[in-house]
Amino acid sequence: MLSSVLIANRGEIARRIIRTARELGVRTIAVYSEADANAPFVMEADAAILIGPAPAKESYLDPKKILAAAKQMGADAIHPGYGFLSENADFAQSVIDAGLTWIGPPPSAIRAMGLKDAAKAVMIKAGVPTTPGYLGEDQSAERLALEAGKIGYPVLIKAVAGGGGKGMRKVERAEDFEAALSSCRREASAAFGDDRVLLEKYVTRPRHIEVQVFGDQHGNVVHLFERDCSLQRRHQKVIEEAPAPGMDEVTRAAVCAAAVKAAQAVGYVGAGTVEFIADASEGLRADRIWFMEMNTRLQVEHPVTEMVTGQDLVEWQLRVASGEALPLEQDEITLDGWAMEARLYAENPATGFLPSTGKLKHFRLPEGDVRVDSAVEEGGEVTPYYDPMIAKLIAHGVDREDAAARLAEACGLVEVWPVKTNAAFLAKCASHPDFIEGRIDTGFIEARLDELTERVFSDAPTLAAIGQRLEAFGEADTPRADPWASAPSRLLGFRMNAPRAAMDLPFNVDGQRTPLRVALVEGVDDDWSWDITVEDGRALDDVEVLPGIYGKGPFHAFEGGDVREFDFTAKVGGAGEGAASDGAILSPMPGKIVSVAVQAGQTVTKGQTLLTLEAMKMEHALAAPFDGVVAELSATSGGQVSEGVVLARLEAQG
């Protein structure tokens, strides 16, 4: 067994590797950037070393700094996790050349599968079915547009070096192809340093099926069954599960055999995932499932496979890298129950899922019934430098319905403030009737986006917030105490020689004014309570403070994974979507301006893209909120901006 391993990664995957390595008695070494100096993974490792400033290119993506750290700290192996340098063949080779153990596949396998066009060529030669498309070397915009027309719209543009949804665009019409190609290339270049693309026929009812494979240095390759990752948003996986719903044994045998064949074709060693696209228009069928790509690393969603097979895939990685044979043979690997994983992102569904950054003043994740792999803890900070995923929630059940119920409940128990998350959105996805029935494909979320992002609350959090606010004014159960005491509640509705009168309070919910009338009402046995009426005339009874409330003025109520802010002080809400009501286009987050599509004085129409901001590894287009003229333009391509900065200002026409 290896004696020490340097983890060339961060966040929850670094913590995940540390956990298993500690159980095996392997010393762990963390590398960290200045932004991660106080991160949990740094504190949990046996040793840690600073490798550079916050930007990933100057720290986690710098191979020389990683190797220097390994040498300085006396590591004998490097585990790349996923993302960053995990699928960089040159880095893998440099690790091996430095006399260290690379915990991953051979550089030759990474190269063979790293470029999507080359990988498809290898698979075709190996007899693995592949999706129809264009893999040619001619990368001119004219040739690509021509080939897209031959394939037939809709088509999918994909970066040849891509992964994780980066550098991928669906194009519905020929007139949109050029703009989509430019955006795709720009994002691919920024993420992978390679702007080449390939084209694929877009399957109209696609299911994303992937197979976990594992190889050792003795020529053995096995599969650990399939996962379904069809619930996606902008090609990013949201909920993954194992096994795949609707997968019969004949189809399972065929797709898993194809995955093993793919791994054998490139002499694969270690953990890998062979991804397939399935046409689910007639259910899952072996003749309608095609090879899409191979991820030559451990996947974010590997925990669902661990839950249904009872195996620790990181342990397998460490043992295989140490030269051991695979722990089990194929017929010894079995399925048990069902597992689902939800990715908790620091993002705001109410603003088009824009990333959210800041201090985690309140951070509570469910305990007990689910597995939680978290990157952060309360008091930590979500920065704009890295991927916005902050945790994974993994539920295991006896069957699919049981797993979905457990996952939905877990997502609903998430409490985070003031950073926004997608917890409520995840809870709605996992509890949606169509999801529970297995009626899913990669368009599931987009087709139900309004429904899944709608904010729906019961009266309970409102009552609780009001109750706690009134309690903060003074002792609510002793209203007849000294009326001149300092507590304002004792003066609510006070009048000389007359009963207390009701008071109208300037109550606000999420910055929006909500007319509210509050009065003290005397009941039986000297019991008093608050009588509360809201704008629509409903009487809200039984005011009590819920455990989900914390803080003082403003107050926050958590329900179903979402949170509402309550206050008795008038506030002005933001305009959202990066635009203020006066026509100012604001930066919704810290980031880099990658393109400016307009000029000062130019006439624009509502919805037209004005500029594109890159943050948290994704591009975000800021559009005109109305028809008008660009009166001011301060944004420049390549410039770094802070949150809330005015990038442009529009003036309405007419």
- For 30-37, the CB contacts below 8 A with 24+ separation are 30/6, 31/6, 31/7, 31/59, 31/60, 31/65, 31/66, 31/69, 32/59, 33/58, 33/59, 33/60, 33/385, 34/59, 35/383, 35/385, 35/386, 36/10
Q: Which of 297, 400, 406, 500 is catalytic?
A: 297
Structure tokens at 217: 């240095």
- 494-526 burial, b for 16+ CB within 10 Å, e for fewer? eeeeeebeeeebebbbeeeeeebbbbbeeeeee
For residues 260, 262, 268, 269, the Cα torsion angle rounded to the nearest 10 degrees is: -30
What single DSSP character describes residue 579?
Answer: B
Q: Classify strands 270-279 and 206-215 as parallel, antiparallel or unpaired.
A: antiparallel
Query: Measured between alpha carbons, how far is 213 from 276 in angstroms, rounded to an integer?
Result: 13
- 229-256 burial, b for 16+ CB within 10 Å, e for fewer? bbbbbebbbbbbbbbbbebeeebbebbb
Is 234 an annotated catalytic residue? no
Query: Measured between alpha carbons, how far is 618 from 90 in angstroms, rounded to an integer?
Result: 25
Structure tokens at 376: 């952060």
* Cross-sheet strand order for the sheet of 503-505: 503-505, 516-522, 528-534, 539-540
Residues in the chain, total: 654
Query: Measured between alpha carbons, how far is 299 from 355 in angstroms, rounded to an integer?
Result: 22
Which sequence positions are flagged as catalytic?
Answer: 297
